[in-house]
A and B are shown apart, each in its own frame.
Chain A
Amino acid sequence: MKSVSSCIGTLLVSLLFCFSLQAATPNLVVYTYDSFTSDWGPGPKVKAAFEAKCLCTLELVGLSDGVAMLNRLKLEGDNSRADIVLGIDTNLTAEARSSGLFARHGLSLPGSALPNPWQDDLFLPYDFGYFAFVYNKERLASPPASLRQLVENTEGPTLLIQDPRTSTPGLGLLLWMKKVFGKESDKAWAKLSPRIVTVSKGWSEAYGLFLKGEADMVLSYTTSPAYHLIAEQDSRFAAARFAEGHYQQIEVAGIVQTSQQKRLAGEFLEFMISEDFQKIIPTTNWMYPAVTGEAVLPAEFDQLIDPSPALLLDEASVANERKGWVDEWLEVMSR
């Protein structure tokens, strides 16, 4: 009996000790998206690598996506525990900028791998990718060579896409069509519409249906085949290269204005564009790292298509026009 109580006593004391230790080390809170923090995302490795050098605790909070992070930050206002928001993309930066919730980072991006030079005093990119239609080479022998060809050929491949109202790639395709077809994009959607098998809520559903063989092509990223190559040694999948170029997604992070630990937050952003962080990205987030470095990219990435020229609409016009464009899309697709 005595030994049991002394055991419990020791346990309590050591627990208390642990808590006091934790209180002594600073705690950096990062809001990010769910698939970043999940066991298969970059989260666990990033946490281990940063904690090894910062003498702090990195707390990654997974929310469903960039929109959710911004909304959360807005709702919390001055009470927010967040020091950093990581994982909003360039379609959201205009809104994030005008919210006044972010502080300047004061960093530059040496060795940038982005196709266009990066200049932004609030947000710093950590990775980027290109939207593309992915197909199974055994099922579709000759994929379309351009977005225009995909749209025009009424006998063309069947497609799975995502809803621009609920999904990042879905919005990406909407902007891609706008960039290529401009004012004619509603007509292009009308031509494409009969071949769209279904419009899913998120990427996972569409990609899952594609793997089950429900359509010839699925809207995804140019880097998707790299997953099958590296993780499954499966070379059947490829992304179709489109002559007009591919629409770009750039994922960024920023320091929250109300953070009490801006110096530590700055250290994290510096770490984010260092090789230790960047080399984790390709095989966990399946995107291109924002900074080129020695051996950052696995060899299999050489087999991916060249997505140039990179297409991107400026953030202001996306912010102003998005709602109208989505309504136009809805109108065409509901016919």
Chain B
Amino acid sequence: MLTMLALLVLAPMAGLLHLSALPGYEALDLRFWENAYLRRVVFFSLWQALLSTLLSVLPAILVARAFAMLPDLPLRRLLLGLFALPLVVPAVVVVMAVVSVYGSDGWLPIGRSLYGINGILLAHVFFNLPLAVRLLLPQWQAVPQHHWQLGEQLGMNAWQRFRFIEWPLLRESLPGVLLLIFMLCLTSFAVVLTLGGGPRSTTVEVAIYQSLRFDFDPARAVLLALLQLGLCMLVAMLTLKLQRMPEVEIAISTPYRRREDLSRWFNLGLILMATLYVGMPLLSLLIDALDGPLGQALGDLRLWQALVNTLSIGLSAALLSVTAGWFLLQYSASLAREGRARAAKLVDLAGSTVYVVPPLVIGTGMFVLLSPHVDVFSWVYPIVIAVNALMGLPFVIRCLGPAMRQNHARYHRLCLGLALHGWNRFRYVEWPSLRRPLGLAIALVAVLAMGDLGVIALFGSTHSTTLALMIYQQLGAYLVAQATVTAVLLLLLCLGVFALLERCIGGRPDA
């Protein structure tokens, strides 16, 4: 499994590196680090990613906690569905939405200072705060009931409850979430380039894109990609040091059900603020779309064809990604059981960090490897699906990892004792306790792949338009209004798919 993963990531890179030995290409130059510009780029990438991550995750802890404390909140499912949306909006649309809200003609104008680190942070928090909420929330659902009861008997206040009951569980998933969001911000591209205000705000990802697309210096692109991977590995090691493997106990977990008027208002306020922050840009899109040529855009047959393409890519990638992630996690759990914790962490790490290898590098590399042997045009879909599944892997590992480890710790001996394995073990032991994180993982990857643009645009073809690609085509043809309609349709589709998958696979909440 691990070998296959390595092959999928490293083979394309090797293919690109090999090009630098051919005539007509730039030769491999290892002294690229001596460039002062590049050093600035690396520094800026790390700095903006760090700030964005902290500003997204710290408030997300409070908001997720607020959701956990209010299990009977009206519209709770809808709000949580809303929180899954920002992840899928193509970056160019997010830029427009952010400008609609904070731009000079917007609802909350902040003027020229939008362009620079402010704009980057606003957009990144919009993307990642809701994601962090979604990923952290299950931790509260895993708190055993008798912990709450014990806390109550001991007369703990809110802070003490957080410190002694919630934090130990949170601590297990927090490092992973921090790492995931750090990677998302580190590799952010269009947001940084458009809202960053100019080349002062350039990230390594931009430099990779430039060397591959503009200078066509594949070797440099691979070196930069490796540099980015290395940076990420470093951060990953640091965050994983924080991580503590859970002490698992067998207990019934139920949502928190205690009413406290003061903190209830506080929590409601937090949710309201987060909802406004996430909702406003989305609302501005909706308003623009309703204002646009709705009938004309929706009557276009090609829109629906693109919708079908988008849907099939999203679902296939999600299925592939979750299957791969499942086996990877099983492998890491079995390693952990054998006492090889270090090896287990390494497997997790490999699965989590593939995200920072730019899809453009993997895609171009795959092209180089495949094009002498097959007709690449008929391979567009498989490649797009494979790359998207790969990019989704860190999300699968994040959603499924903690639950899978708990499951193994609780039930592995029992399964051995009962001689349960294979399908039966999946059916009777793993499925009931893992279906919820599984549902979230599938839904996230599907939605992520549906909003992806990178790879399909790279290969280019006459008949493989997706909604995301269509948005770019419309923007390129002055059709801003139609593009907004397409973007909203993509959003609604994602919302539908997300809710459906999470419900069908994840089952009823609190069931």
**Number of A-B pairs whose CB atoms are under 8 Å?**
147
**B210–A165 touching, CB < 8 Å:** yes
Residues of B close to A335: CB separation below 8 A: 200
**B105–A213 touching, CB < 8 Å:** yes
**A196–B198 touching, CB < 8 Å:** yes
The verdict on A199 contacting B197 (CB below 8 Å), with A204-B475, A212-B103, A213-B103 known, is yes
User: What 0/1 pattern do residues 20 to 56 of B give for CB contact below 8 A with A?
Assistant: 0000100000000000010010000000000000000
A231–B481 alpha-carbon span in the complex (Å): 13
CB distance from B215 to the nearest CB of A (A): 7
Residues of B close to A213: CB separation below 8 A: 103-105
Tell me which residues from 163 to 209 in chain B have a Cβ below 8 Å from any Cβ of chain A. Answer: 189-190, 193-200, 202, 209
CB distance from A48 to the nearest CB of B (A): 14
**B371–A75 touching, CB < 8 Å:** yes
Does A153 belong to the interface (CB within 8 Å)? no
The answer, among B371, B458, B478, for a CB contact under 8 Å with A79, is: B371
**A198–B477 touching, CB < 8 Å:** no
Residues of B close to A209: CB separation below 8 A: 95-96, 99, 103, 194
The answer, among B96, B214, B216, for a CB contact under 8 Å with A166, is: B214
The verdict on A214 contacting B199 (CB below 8 Å), with A198-B194, A208-B475 known, is no
The answer, among A67, A76, A211, A333, for a CB contact under 8 Å with B199, is: A333
**A61–B199 touching, CB < 8 Å:** no
**A197–B95 touching, CB < 8 Å:** no
Does B350 belong to the interface (CB within 8 Å)? no
Does B302 belong to the interface (CB within 8 Å)? yes
Does A64 belong to the interface (CB within 8 Å)? yes
- Secondary structure of the B contact surface, majority rule: helix
**B461–A35 touching, CB < 8 Å:** no
Does A334 belong to the interface (CB within 8 Å)? yes
A201–B195 alpha-carbon span in the complex (Å): 10
Does B213 belong to the interface (CB within 8 Å)? yes
Tell me which residues from 49 to 87 in chain A have a Cβ below 8 Å from any Cβ of chain B. Answer: 59-64, 67-68, 70-71, 74-76, 79, 81
Residues of A close to B100: CB separation below 8 A: 212
Tell me which residues from 196 to 239 in chain A have a Cβ below 8 Å from any Cβ of chain B. Answer: 196-205, 207-209, 211-214, 224, 227-228, 231
The verdict on A208 contacting B480 (CB below 8 Å), with A64-B460, A166-B213, A214-B99 known, is yes
CB distance from A85 to the nearest CB of B (A): 13
User: What 0/1 pattern do residues 173 to 215 of A give for CB contact below 8 A with B?
Assistant: 0000000000000000000010011111111110111011110
| Tally of chain A residues near chain B (CB < 8 A) | 58
CB distance from B313 to the nearest CB of A (A): 17
**B199–A200 touching, CB < 8 Å:** no
Residues of B close to A199: CB separation below 8 A: 193, 197-199
**A208–B462 touching, CB < 8 Å:** no
**A200–B193 touching, CB < 8 Å:** yes
CB distance from B22 to the nearest CB of A (A): 10
Residues of A close to B127: CB separation below 8 A: none
Does B472 belong to the interface (CB within 8 Å)? yes
The verdict on A40 contacting B199 (CB below 8 Å), with A34-B460, A201-B190, A334-B40 known, is no
- B92 nearest in chain A by CB position: A205
A311–B209 alpha-carbon span in the complex (Å): 30
Does B372 belong to the interface (CB within 8 Å)? yes
The answer, among A39, A166, A231, A333, for a CB contact under 8 Å with B478, is: A231
Does A330 belong to the interface (CB within 8 Å)? yes
Does A25 belong to the interface (CB within 8 Å)? no
Residues of A close to B276: CB separation below 8 A: none
Does B112 belong to the interface (CB within 8 Å)? yes
CB distance from A24 to the nearest CB of B (A): 20
Tell me which residues from 261 to 275 in chain A have a Cβ below 8 Å from any Cβ of chain B. Answer: none
CB distance from B365 to the nearest CB of A (A): 11
Tell me which residues from 466 to 484 in chain B have a Cβ below 8 Å from any Cβ of chain A. Answer: 469, 472-480
- B96 nearest in chain A by CB position: A208
Q: Which of A198, A205, A228, A333 has the most CB of B within 10 A?
A: A198
Does A163 belong to the interface (CB within 8 Å)? yes
CB distance from B12 to the nearest CB of A (A): 13
The answer, among B95, B104, B472, B478, for a CB contact under 8 Å with A227, is: B478
- A327 nearest in chain B by CB position: B37
A144–B96 alpha-carbon span in the complex (Å): 28
Does A149 belong to the interface (CB within 8 Å)? no
**B105–A60 touching, CB < 8 Å:** no
Tell me which residues from 6 to 50 in chain A have a Cβ below 8 Å from any Cβ of chain B. Answer: 34-35, 37-41
**A166–B103 touching, CB < 8 Å:** no
A196–B105 alpha-carbon span in the complex (Å): 18
A331–B473 alpha-carbon span in the complex (Å): 32
A99–B25 alpha-carbon span in the complex (Å): 11
CB distance from B488 to the nearest CB of A (A): 16
Residues of A close to B372: CB separation below 8 A: 79
A202–B215 alpha-carbon span in the complex (Å): 16
A79–B376 alpha-carbon span in the complex (Å): 11
Does A286 belong to the interface (CB within 8 Å)? yes
User: What 0/1 pattern do residues 311 to 335 of A give for CB contact below 8 A with B?
Assistant: 0000000000001000101110111
Does B122 belong to the interface (CB within 8 Å)? no
**B24–A74 touching, CB < 8 Å:** yes
A198–B19 alpha-carbon span in the complex (Å): 35
CB distance from A287 to the nearest CB of B (A): 13
**B371–A76 touching, CB < 8 Å:** yes
Residues of B close to A211: CB separation below 8 A: 480
CB distance from A176 to the nearest CB of B (A): 18
**B213–A67 touching, CB < 8 Å:** yes
CB distance from A92 to the nearest CB of B (A): 11
A327–B210 alpha-carbon span in the complex (Å): 12
Interface residues of A (CB under 8 A from B): 34-35, 37-41, 59-64, 67-68, 70-71, 74-76, 79, 81, 99, 158, 163, 165-166, 193, 196-205, 207-209, 211-214, 224, 227-228, 231, 286, 323, 327, 329-331, 333-335
Q: List 8 A-B contacts (CB under 8 A).
A: A38-B477, A39-B302, A41-B477, A67-B213, A81-B375, A196-B198, A214-B99, A231-B478
Known: A61-B377, A199-B193. 14 other contacts (CB 8 A): A35-B477, A40-B479, A197-B197, A198-B196, A200-B193, A202-B476, A204-B472, A207-B478, A208-B480, A209-B96, A209-B194, A212-B96, A213-B103, A334-B199
7 tightest A-B CB contacts, nearest first: A40-B477, A38-B473, A204-B475, A63-B460, A213-B105, A35-B476, A199-B198
